[in-house]
């Protein structure tokens, strides 16, 4: 859908379109994700050293999903409060303030306060991500431009998140967690300025319906978007599957121990970056656009099962790399389809729901696979979880085709 054809874009939105600075979103996204993930890593280690609890240490990463998962209308309401760029800027600045507060709180030794602040920080991250996509949706001149810009943003998001581990490894031993959090706050202040430049402050019309009602209306009136959201949620569950097996797989199947866990982490990072790069290439996306979404999900499930089933390390790791490439490619393709297919009128609600969907699906994939690991081997667990996701994808594909014929 071309945004010019909707007839629902405000005068303010048209002003934004005349400020074609979208290229600045990619480095801003990379910088924001580098310092964001580095902060979570540093806080996770701090919590472990303070509480000596692996559960609470892992909870640092889980807490960032709590608000988006339990209160979806919150993101929709916040995203619709003004121009998308201004909302993203304010969200980054709130995240910067929270980073500075966290830098002080760690000196008190309060793990509870840290986890509560991380929940608020996770909400800021979700609002920024939804608002950034909305900036592109409104400002881009055509669906093709939306695809190009969103592809670049998502690629740089992956690069930023993947680089955080390297950055943390370099500075963790020599720089305190407080200094890292202060540095993160300064970077987030700068990325907020980038969003402010992309879309200057202004006033946008308030939604006619409450946030929850606007989400339901966006789904009800857009069956195609609903279908793509289903596929995006199913493929996102493979991220949870990966997190569930990343330790058990090299230990059980390959007998590689801790060293194998490190190899799996490195291989998966390279695979995700490669898949993101492929998904950002227009010629590749045009070629694979002919592949049905259910076939892509099936390919992801098949390569995951094959990788974990192979007993030899080198071919197993190679297959795992292919699994992560296909996973990230499918994820970015479905994510692009959601953004480009959404009507501008429903974009704040739908893009906010997407944040909740991604959190919930990743958690569901983690819980499903972890539950299976408690009763069967890692190879069987991966095969069963992948088969279930592929079957659901095929079922939703059939349902979506039936809906379009009605």
**Could you report the per-residue pLDDT of 290-328, keeping only the tens digit for each?**
888 999 999 999 999 999 999 899 999 999 999 999 999
CB atoms within 10 A of CB 254: 19
Domains in the chain, CATH or no CATH each = 20-209 (1.20.1250.20), 210-405 (1.20.1250)
DSSP 307-338: HHH--SHHHHHHHHHHHHHHHHHHHHHHHHHH
Helix ranges (H only) for 199-311 are: 211-220, 223-245, 248, 257-279, 282-288, 293-309
**For residue 404, what pLDDT is reported?**
64
Mean pLDDT for the chain overall: 82
pLDDT tens figures, 191-225 = 999 888 875 444 444 444 445 556 666 667 777 88
Q: How confident is the model at residue 148 (pLDDT cuts 50, 70, 90)?
A: confident
Give the residue-averaged pLDDT of 57-62: 78
Tokens of 53: 């609890």
CB-based burial label for 73 (10 Å; 0-12, 13-18, 19+) = middle
**For residue 6, what pLDDT is reported?**
39
Tokens of 369: 């696979």
Cβ neighbours for 391, distance < 8 A, ≥ 6 positions apart:
none
342, pLDDT greater than 90: no
**For residue 362, what pLDDT is reported?**
85
Share of the chain above pLDDT 70, in %: 87
Extract the runs of DSSP E, i.e. beta strands, from 73-199: none
């Amino acid at each position: 859908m071309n945004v010019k054809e909707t007839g629902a874009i405000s005068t303010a939105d048209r002003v934004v379109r005349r400020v074609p600075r979208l290229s600045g979103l990619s480095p801003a996204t990379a910088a924001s994700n580098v310092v964001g993930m580095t902060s979570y890593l540093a806080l996770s280690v701090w919590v472990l050293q303070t509480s000596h609890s692996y559960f609470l240490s892992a909870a640092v990463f889980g807490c960032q999903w709590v608000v988006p998962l339990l209160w979806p209308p919150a993101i929709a309401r916040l995203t619709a409060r003004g121009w998308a760029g201004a909302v993203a800027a304010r969200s980054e600045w709130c995240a910067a303030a929270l980073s500075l507060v966290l830098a002080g709180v760690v000196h008190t030794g309060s793990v509870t306060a840290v986890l509560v602040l991380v929940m608020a920080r996770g909400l800021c991250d979700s609002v920024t991500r939804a608002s950034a996509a909305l900036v592109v949706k409104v400002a881009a001149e055509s669906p093709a431009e939306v695809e190009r810009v969103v592809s670049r943003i998502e690629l740089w998001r992956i690069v930023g998140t993947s680089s955080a581990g390297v950055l943390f490894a370099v500075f963790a031993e020599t720089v305190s967690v407080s200094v890292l959090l202060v540095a993160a706050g300064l970077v987030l202040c700068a990325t907020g300025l980038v969003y402010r430049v992309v879309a200057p402050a202004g006033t946008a019309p308030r939604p006619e319906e409450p946030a929850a009602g606007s989400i339901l209306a966006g789904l009800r009136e857009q069956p195609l978007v609903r279908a793509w959201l289903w596929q995006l949620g199913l493929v996102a569950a493979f991220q949870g599957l990966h997190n569930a097996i990343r330790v058990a797989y090299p230990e059980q199947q390959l007998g590689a121990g801790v060293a194998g866990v490190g190899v799996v982490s490195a291989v998966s990072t390279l695979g995700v970056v490669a898949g993101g790069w492929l998904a950002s290439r227009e010629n590749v996306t045009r070629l694979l656009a002919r592949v049905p979404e259910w076939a892509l999900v099936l390919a992801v499930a098949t390569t995951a099962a094959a990788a974990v089933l192979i007993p030899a390390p080198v071919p197993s790791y190679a297959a795992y790399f292919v699994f992560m490439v296909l996973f990230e490619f499918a994820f970015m393709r479905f994510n692009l389809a959601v953004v480009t297919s959404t009507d501008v009128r429903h974009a704040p609600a739908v893009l906010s729901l997407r944040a909740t969907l991604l959190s919930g699906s990743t958690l569901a994939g983690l819980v499903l696979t972890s539950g299976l690991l408690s009763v069967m081997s890692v190879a069987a667990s991966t095969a069963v979880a992948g088969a279930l996701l592929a079957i659901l994808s095929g079922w939703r594909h059939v349902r979506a085709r039936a809906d379009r014929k009605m």
